[in-house]
Structure 1
Amino acid sequence: MLANLVDIFYYNSNLGFAVSSLNDAIIKTSNAGQSWELPSGTTVAMNWISKSPSGSGIGNNLCMHPKDRNSAFVVYGNRVYVSRDRSETWTQIATVGVGSRAHSFYVSPVDTNVWLAA
């Protein structure tokens, strides 16, 4: 469930419910908010919407974070961007030193500070 909670209600010290304005579902906790879950039978569907940063990219220049499913990296032009909120917003974090574009971009699964741009 995405953030932007608009209401949280606790029935007792452990059992609680929350609702977001971004989803049509109520989430539930039975351990005082340590973890939250959707009610049984509820599913979440995600759709891609183009929110490209300015610049131009060619090839395979999008790389998902190897461990964090909410994060992705992309190279557009000579700029490296990261999104930590499922591609809702993008922040420039670096530039590619040689050349004006990357055809491919990879992030190391061992150390996400190690990148390869070709």
Structure 2
Amino acid sequence: MPFDPSSLKYDANGLIPAIAQDHATGEVLMMAWMNPESLLETLRTGQVTYWSRSRQALWAKGATSGHVQKLVELRIDCDRDCLLLLVDQAGPACHTNRRSCFYTALRDGEEVVILTPM
């Protein structure tokens, strides 16, 4: 069955959450937003492109930093309201220069930084 981006469930702003996961290790790297245009651009080029809510523009991951994400596989959740992007990540995924944006763990009621910048 051919993929139709309009079959997805977007929020009131026309966005859908997209979780980037390293295709080889399974590590969760980041979460960002996509709209139909960024999704189609990602599928067309193979380079993951998100929608930047702050800039109100397409954002090709790594366009300025060089830390690009190449799409390996796109998965759609059962409710069709969230995407999982299996990616090949070049360099850190987080703007803090860490491998993952999920670098703070809650342990015994305390926040603990578990990843240092690369």
Q: Which has the larger share of helix?
A: 2
Q: Which has the larger share of strand?
A: 2
Fold-level similarity (TM above 0.5): no
Per the shorter chain, which TM-score range? under 0.3
Compute the TM-score of the two structures, normalised by the length of structure 2. 0.26
